Amino acid sequence: MTRLNLLTKSGQPERYTLEGVRTWKAPEKAAFNRVVYSAAHVVADPRQSHDPWESPAIDWDATLRYRERLFGLGLGVAEAMDTAQRGMGLDWPTSLELIRRSVAMSSDYPGALVASGAGTDQLSLLQPLTLEAVSAAYEEQVAAIEAAGGRLILMASRALAAVARSSDDYELVYGKILQQTREPVILHWLGEMFDPALAGYWGTNSVDEAMNICLRVIEQNVGKVDGIKISLLDKEKEVAMRRRLPASVKMYTGDDFNYPELIEGDRLGYSHALLGIFDAIAPAASSALQALAAGDNARFNAILAPTLPLSRHIFSAPTRFYKSGVVFLAWLNNHQNHFTMVGGQQSARDAIHYSELFRLADKAALFDDPALAASRMHQFMAVQGVE
């Protein structure tokens, strides 16, 4: 029986006994009836001499091994997105290198899906901006990703949010970019809880009006849109938008609070998935999706239900720091041998947060090797002054 000291919500040490027991296993050959992407984190390299606040140092081998793991579980990879700390430590040149490597590696895995984020993050928000500059930045990234053989996720743009004066500006820029893409893209509407710089996206602070504008963009460019991922953490808004989409356009849930019921769906439809939490719960997600494809909805829900408290904790406010929880769990599960993040983001959450994360991950039976996870957690707590 493995036991260790963790912190309570009041900051007091408390003895915790591991209790998680897996009742599922990841399928050997996954087959799903939903299109599923896991946004994937990057593994920093703490052995490189660099300024962590100025330039990212990436452990390419460990980063790509993690993507191989996701492919092996039947999950697609949403590359160079916010889960990879895009805009929070991962710059555009490093993102493009990551995209090139992932796309090239995916050819070794028949049927593997990779969709990569195209944005405008090469622009400085400290300089004067124009709509023309935003469009040109999108065009540069779209062209580079397509040249690498990649599929596109058109990311929300901080620069566009800063310079746009009305919904017309969003329609103009998106329409211009979408008409140039080779293949239909996935749009990503990222809510301000994930990135405060995106407040008022689509030219309004009203979510309902923003939805109308976004739907208008999709309808005007329907042949160029594979689907849309919305990350608003509001299941009612997602379902409402899903029911209004053109028949050819998929809804990809980005709701890390309510993903089981949105993926399962109802008699009027369902959401596909493009989720950051799937990075952290990949084996459980794969097993659950396999059950759903086999028509065993009860099994699907039974596997994912224990992961929801963990996901809601990892994505708790301030939500933009959720990446630290994803990487922490990757370290506990030995997918990397350190807990260091690009930009020093491991410091974005405190020891109380990580203590609760450990408890919830154990209850969801997400530790591949519970003894190793407990040993690493003990080391982490010791650094926090808790023996």
Helix (H) or strand (E) holding 5: strand 3-7
- The residue ranges of every structural domain in the chain are 30-348
How many angstroms separate the CA atoms of 156 and 4, rounded?
42
List the chain residues with pLDDT less than 70. Answer: 1
Give the pLDDT score at 264: 98
How many angstroms separate the CA atoms of 327 and 39, rounded?
12
Cβ(52)–Cβ(86) under 8 Å? no
The CATH homologous superfamily to which domain 30-348 belongs is Aldolase class I (3.20.20.70)
How many angstroms separate the CA atoms of 176 and 182, rounded?
13
What pLDDT, in 10s, does the model give residues 65-111? 999 999 999 999 999 999 999 999 999 999 999 999 999 999 999 99
Rg (CA), the chain: 20
- SS3 call for 63: helix
Give the pLDDT score at 1: 64
Give the pLDDT score at 298: 98
- SS3 call for 242: helix
Cβ(28)–Cβ(42) under 8 Å? no
DSSP line for 272-324: EEEESHHHHSHHHHHHHHHHHHTT-HHHHHHHHTTHHHHHHHHT-SSGGGTHH
Give the pLDDT score at 49: 85
Tally of residues, the chain: 387
Give the pLDDT score at 50: 79
Structure tokens at 24: 């599922």
Contacts with 211 (C-beta within 8 Å, 6 or more apart), sequence order: 237, 240, 241, 244
Cα distances (angstroms) measured from residue 252 to each of 73, 122, 216, 376:
19, 26, 18, 35
How many angstroms separate the CA atoms of 39 and 102, rounded?
12
Give the pLDDT score at 62: 98
Bond preceding residue 128 cis, omega within 30 of 0: no
Residue type (1 letter), 216: R
Contacts with 206 (C-beta within 8 Å, 6 or more apart), sequence order: none
